[in-house]
């Protein structure tokens, strides 16, 4: 039992340290993210499960040898890290209040039922909402040009519309995997929500993805009234790569270069909510060593058609931070402070660039201790961020 306790203790310590200090090295970045994401947002379950395991091993004689005692000490430190992470999660509501107060907005009210969802975090259904699935918004590309509509069960009329763009590093992902807590809350409170697929790399390279988001917006303008939505009140949102595409879509509003075959369509929106968005593509694929940069460049070339070294101009052309020039629609930018895939420093620089534009309205919410993709399922941070996005969107469409 001592050696099992030793292994469990070191695992607990590694998980605890990782949630507070995830790595951004190219080799370990994805593994670190996955461990941070699940452990941080399910910290209460992690503490319960590992705590029960350690207690059982101690009761079974795990402390009789030095290895067991070392494992127990490591577990105690690991649990301390997890407690700190939980405390950071409880501060998310205060972070929302602070961000909204600083922007002159009323803080959001908690959504009903959030304690129940906290206990069942992976349950993404909502009896108040109905989904109309797999509607085609553009020809070709099979399932990549389909969308789902979420609306209040029983119907709605002239409701504001939220368009959700999924993430996945422009390489993977689908409309059913992300944004569900947000869309369920919004639809349950009278919004019509649209979640889209779009073409993915390497089969499709940039700017095909932006073209698809704009094509979906054109479809919403033409058809959302059939599902109870108001085509003149649209807010655009997305997480990660979807946040990048949302910001890029707004910053290239009605640009015919990105609207081939539908150049005259109005693809403008009332506001945009990028969530942990990559905004500086050159910085995103820059690491500590030249060898790592070369590997990252090969991955980037699958998405953007060339490495950052070969053609830095195209990375600047598709970096939202380089496109901010004049006032545009209101922004709510949401970022986790412990995100190791899209560092918070990058998002802060983007927000600073927006705020430097006279007349630009921007709210910045940095969620304490939050990893990448923290609002994909229900958690303390997810509920706080979802409430913030809902309140911001309500305020935008009310003006």
Q: Which residues are catalytic?
A: 240, 339, 372
**How many Cβ atoms from other residues are within 10 Å of residue 59's Cβ?**
10
Question: Tokens 């620089």 appear where?
Answer: 349
Edge to edge, the sheet with strand 129-136 lists: 129-136, 146-152, 192-196, 159-165, 229-239, 271-275, 331-336, 362-367
Rounded to 5 degrees, what are φ and ψ at 181? -55, -40
Distance (Å, whole) CA 368 – CA 80: 17
**How many Cβ atoms from other residues are within 10 Å of residue 93's Cβ?**
18
Grouping H, G, I as helix, E, B as strand and the rest as coil, residue 100 is helix
Please give the sequence-ordered ranges of beta strands (E in DSSP) within the chain, or none if there are none: 129-136, 146-152, 159-165, 192-196, 229-239, 271-275, 331-336, 362-367
Q: Phi/psi class of residue 167: alpha, beta or left (left: φ > 0; alpha: ψ in -120 to 50)?
A: beta
Grouping H, G, I as helix, E, B as strand and the rest as coil, residue 364 is strand
- Residues 206 and 304: beta-carbon distance below 8 Å: yes
- Residues 219 and 168: beta-carbon distance below 8 Å: no
Rounded to 5 degrees, what are φ and ψ at 169? 60, 30
DSSP assignment string, 101-156: HHTT-PPPPPPTTHHHHHHSTT----TTEEEEEEEE-SSSSGGGGEEEEEEETT--
């Amino acid at each position: 039992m001592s050696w099992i306790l030793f292994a469990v203790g070191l695992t607990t310590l590694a998980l605890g340290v990782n949630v507070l200090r995830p790595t951004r090295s190219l080799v370990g970045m994805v593994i670190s993210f996955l461990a941070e994401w699940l452990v941080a947002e399910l910290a209460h379950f992690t503490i319960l499960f590992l705590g029960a395991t350690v207690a059982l091993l101690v009761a079974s004689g795990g402390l009789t040898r030095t290895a067991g005692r070392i494992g127990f000490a490591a577990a105690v430190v690991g649990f301390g890290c997890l407690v700190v992470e939980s405390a950071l999660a409880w501060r998310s509501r205060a972070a929302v209040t602070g961000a909204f107060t600083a922007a002159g907005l009323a803080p959001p009210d908690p959504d009903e039922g959030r304690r129940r969802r906290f206990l069942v975090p992976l349950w993404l259904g909502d009896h108040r909402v109905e989904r109309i699935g797999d509607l085609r918004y553009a020809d070709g590309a099979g399932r990549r040009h389909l969308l789902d509509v979420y609306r209040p069960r029983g119907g709605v009329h002239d409701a504001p519309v939220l368009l959700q763009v999924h993430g996945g590093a422009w390489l993977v992902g689908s409309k059913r995997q992300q944004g569900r807590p947000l869309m369920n809350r919004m639809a349950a409170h009278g919004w019509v929500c649209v979640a889209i697929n779009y073409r993915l790399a390497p089969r499709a390279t940039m700017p095909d993805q932006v073209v698809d988001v704009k094509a979906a917006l054109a479809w919403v303008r033409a058809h959302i009234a059939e599902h109870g939505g108001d085509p003149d009140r649209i807010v655009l949102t997305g997480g990660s790569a979807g946040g990048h595409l949302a910001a890029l879509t707004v910053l290239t509003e009605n640009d015919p270069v990105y609207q081939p075959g539908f150049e005259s369509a109005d693809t403008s929106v009332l506001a945009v909510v990028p969530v942990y968005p990559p905004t500086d593509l050159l910085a995103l694929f820059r690491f500590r060593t030249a060898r790592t940069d070369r590997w990252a460049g090969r991955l980037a070339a699958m998405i953007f058609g060339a490495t950052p070294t070969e053609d830095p101009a195209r990375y600047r052309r598709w970096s939202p931070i380089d496109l901010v020039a004049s006032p545009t629609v209101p922004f709510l930018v949401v970022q986790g402070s412990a995100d190791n895939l899209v560092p918070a420093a990058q998002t802060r620089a983007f927000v600073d660039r927006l705020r430097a534009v006279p007349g630009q309205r921007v709210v910045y919410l940095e969620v304490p201790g939050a990893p990448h993709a923290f609002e994909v399922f229900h958690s303390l941070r997810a509920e706080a961020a979802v409430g913030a996005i809902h309140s911001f969107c309500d305020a935008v469409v009310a003006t």
